[in-house]
Amino acid sequence: MASLPDNSAPPAIEVRDLVKTYGGVTAVSRVSFTVARGEIVGFLGPNGAGKSTTMRILTGCMPATAGHVTVCGHSVATQTDEVKRLIGYMPENNPLPEDMRVSEYLHFRGRLKEISRKKLGPRLDEALEMCDLKKVRHRIIGTLSKGYRQRVGIAECILAEPPVIIMDEPTIGLDPRQILVVRDLIDSLRGRMSVIISSHILPEIEMTCDRVVIINQGRVVAHGTPAQLRRDLLGGARYELELAGPEQGLPALLARVEPTLKIVVTTPAADGFRRHTLTSTNAAELGEPLLRAIAADGRLRVRSLARAHPTLEEVFLAATGQNWDAERKSA
């Protein structure tokens, strides 16, 4: 069973006003966020947003231009070696040596991560078991499928049981079945290790992560749980309503239920019904009062009413789009 996070301990990752510039270009601009112990955080952003740069700075592979980054209370700038001992890192594209066997590679990495020879054997078996790699442990890495290679990368990350795992696009290029396996694997780390993953596959992030940080053009544009982001960025609620009958009085009827409830799109449906998309800034559940009001009217017939759940894609587009609009206006 996963042990509970220690609340008195410093957060797993703390980033304050992180700035990284190279060649006159600001890749990361005053980025701040925190990752709690045992939390899984998704790092989202379009290509070139600064995700990989931020992750590389967190691991100590690249120095920051300005700002303060700590991992479990250790400063990445001044205690780089200590930080490296606390992190399992899988870089973008998961680079692996082509001509080594899986177990040899993990053994070598284990030794570099200072696992004693006595503990390394059992730890290696455990990591291979967790990542379902036992049957390919003697295979040359270069001959493995993409899915197995990703799992070798994850096994390497968790080998030394670090408190923090950083994975840059762990599901990129995988088929849906392999994505499911990797997702379950990451999910199994919940509560035991703090995980920060970047991905373009948004449903994956939504299903796996406790919290999401959206970054665009080097800035954090939104952060919070997926539900919070939906509320903050898309506002209120959206409903899909199918009904038939005289609709002249419908806007007034909607206004009586909730003043901000409005029809945004109407499309014809089968059997004389029409489908209306309604939005409201009020996030409260309006389904029941709406049905009651339509029933009281008597002339309208309802076939279906459902509250629409915007996907994380919509949230992501709203967050990055707002940021892009703001940039254009300021320019």
Of the CA atoms within 13 Å of residue 6, those in its CB half-sphere come to 6
Of the CA atoms within 13 Å of residue 98, those in its CB half-sphere come to 2
Listed residue (61, 62, 56, 143) closest to 98, CA to CA: 143
Please report whether residue 66 would count as binding another protein according to CB under 8 A: no
Please report whether residue 112 would count as binding another protein according to CB under 8 A: yes
Q: Which stretch binds another protein (CB under 8 A): 57-65, 121-129, 245-253, 298-306?
A: 57-65
Please report whether residue 35 would count as binding another protein according to CB under 8 A: no
Dig out the tokens for 244 from the structure: 């038939």
Q: How many residues bind another protein (CB under 8 A)?
A: 52
Q: Which is nearer to another protein, 14 or 242 (CB)?
A: 14
Please report whether residue 62 would count as binding another protein according to CB under 8 A: yes
Listed residue (191, 105, 199, 88) closest to 144, CA to CA: 105
Please report whether residue 148 would count as binding another protein according to CB under 8 A: no
Query: Shortest approach of another protein to residue 312 CB, angstroms?
Result: 27
Please report whether residue 113 would count as binding another protein according to CB under 8 A: yes
Of the CA atoms within 13 Å of residue 239, those in its CB half-sphere come to 26
Please report whether residue 116 would count as binding another protein according to CB under 8 A: yes
Whether the CB-CB separation of 193 and 23 falls below 8 Å is answered with no
Query: Shortest approach of another protein to residue 135 CB, angstroms?
Result: 22
According to CB under 8 A, which residues from 239 to 278 bind another protein?
Answer: none
Rg (CA), the chain: 25
Q: What residues contact residue 265 under an 8 Å CB cut-off, 6+ apart?
A: 276, 277
Listed residue (191, 207, 168, 206) closest to 51, CA to CA: 168
Q: Which stretch binds another protein (CB under 8 A): 128-136, 158-166, 201-209, 306-314?
A: 158-166
Please report whether residue 187 would count as binding another protein according to CB under 8 A: no
Q: Report the C-alpha gap between 309 and 237 in whole angstroms.
A: 8
Contact pick of 34, 46, 75, 91 for another protein (by CB under 8 A): 91
Dig out the tokens for 66 from the structure: 């300005």
Q: Sheet with 237-244: list strands edge to edge.
A: 262-268, 274-280, 237-244, 301-308
Contact pattern for another protein over residues 190 through 229, marking x by CB under 8 A: -xxx------------------------------------
Query: Shortest approach of another protein to residue 202 CB, angstroms?
Result: 25
Which stretches of the chain bind another protein, using CB under 8 A? 2-6, 9-10, 12, 22, 37-38, 56, 59-63, 71-74, 81-82, 84-87, 89, 91, 93, 95-100, 104, 108-109, 111-114, 116, 156, 161-164, 191-193
